[in-house]
């Protein structure tokens, strides 16, 4: 039995638009972000997929994206499990700061290291490795078993929590994952084999807007 795992990064948030480090802060979607979520839902509706369960984070931008997608495919009342294990990476002291202001304060190179290294966290925050350390166990114990039972599972979450998942699904190295950006609102549809490896991956939408 092969199950289906669909990963979607939330639509553009108000702080994405303002170029702010967001992390565990909780801004809402912009109008564009709402439109992106609707577009992702429509793309999934065209495939005819029907989900058995949805997972999302404790943050409203992911929850709202999840709900918009489910409404688009006529499953607005689907069981949806919320857990902070798949929250965005915690940016610590950077959260709420404009990225350009952070560069002025700490220097371009240091901010680049915090944003793009695998295991160097910003002050008071998490590295991508730290984010994975909470995402991976949750995936293995709560999400993956349902996919392996043949269920169709939607995960609406965040750039970095999803990058941690894509890293293991696509078997990317620490260097390769640092180059990966996930577009907002664009569903990635994985079909998994019984051994949990990927049989097929499809990206439903325009990846040119990844940033």
146-167 pLDDT tens trace: 999 999 999 999 999 999 999 9
Domains of the chain (ranges; CATH) run 10-55+70-182 (3.40.50.1240)
* pLDDT tens readout for residues 56-91: 999 999 999 999 999 999 999 999 999 999 999 999
CA distances from 50 to 75, 78, 110, 199 (A): 8, 10, 44, 19
| Side-by-side strand order, sheet with 152-157 | 80-82, 53-56, 152-157, 3-9, 188-192, 198-203
80-111 burial, b if ≥16 CB within 10 A, otherwise e? bebeebbbbbbbbebbebeeeebeeebeeeeb
pLDDT score of 199 = 96
* pLDDT tens readout for residues 187-211: 999 999 999 999 999 999 765 444 3
> Is residue 55's pLDDT more than 90?
yes
pLDDT score of 205 = 78
pLDDT score of 2 = 76
Q: Is 75 exposed, middle or buried (0-12, 13-18, 19+ CB in 10 A)?
A: buried
Compute the distance between CA of residue 131 and CA of residue 119 in angstroms, rounded to an integer.
10
pLDDT score of 105 = 94
pTM: 0.94
Catalytic site positions: 10, 88
Compute the distance between CA of residue 149 and CA of residue 147 in angstroms, rounded to an integer.
5
Torsion of CA 34, 35, 37, 43, to 10 degrees: 170
pLDDT score of 116 = 85
* pLDDT tens readout for residues 4-50: 999 999 999 999 999 999 999 999 999 999 999 999 999 999 999 99
pLDDT score of 29 = 97
* pLDDT tens readout for residues 126-149: 999 999 999 999 999 999 999 999
């Amino acid at each position: 039995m092969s199950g289906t795992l669909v990963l979607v990064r939330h639509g553009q948030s108000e702080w994405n638009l303002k170029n702010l480090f967001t992390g565990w802060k909780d801004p809402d979607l912009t109008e564009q972000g709402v439109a992106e979520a609707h577009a992702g839902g429509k793309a999934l509706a065209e495939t005819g997929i029907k989900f058995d369960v949805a997972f999302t984070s404790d943050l409203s931008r992911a929850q709202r994206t999840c709900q918009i997608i489910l409404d688009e495919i006529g499953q607005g009342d689907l069981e949806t499990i919320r857990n902070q294990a798949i929250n965005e990476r915690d940016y610590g002291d950077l959260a709420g700061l404009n990225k350009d202001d952070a560069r002025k304060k700490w220097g371009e190179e240091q901010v680049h290291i915090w944003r793009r290294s695998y295991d160097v966290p910003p002050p008071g925050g998490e590295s991508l490795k730290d984010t994975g350390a909470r995402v991976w166990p949750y995936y293995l114990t709560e999400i993956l078993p349902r996919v392996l039972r043949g269920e169709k599972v939607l995960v609406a979450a965040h750039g970095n929590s999803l990058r941690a998942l894509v890293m293991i699904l696509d078997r990317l190295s620490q260097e390769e994952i640092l180059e990966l950006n996930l577009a907002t609102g664009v569903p990635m549809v994985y079909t998994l084999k019984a051994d949990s490896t990927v049989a097929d991956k499809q990206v439903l939408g325009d990846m040119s807007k990844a940033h």
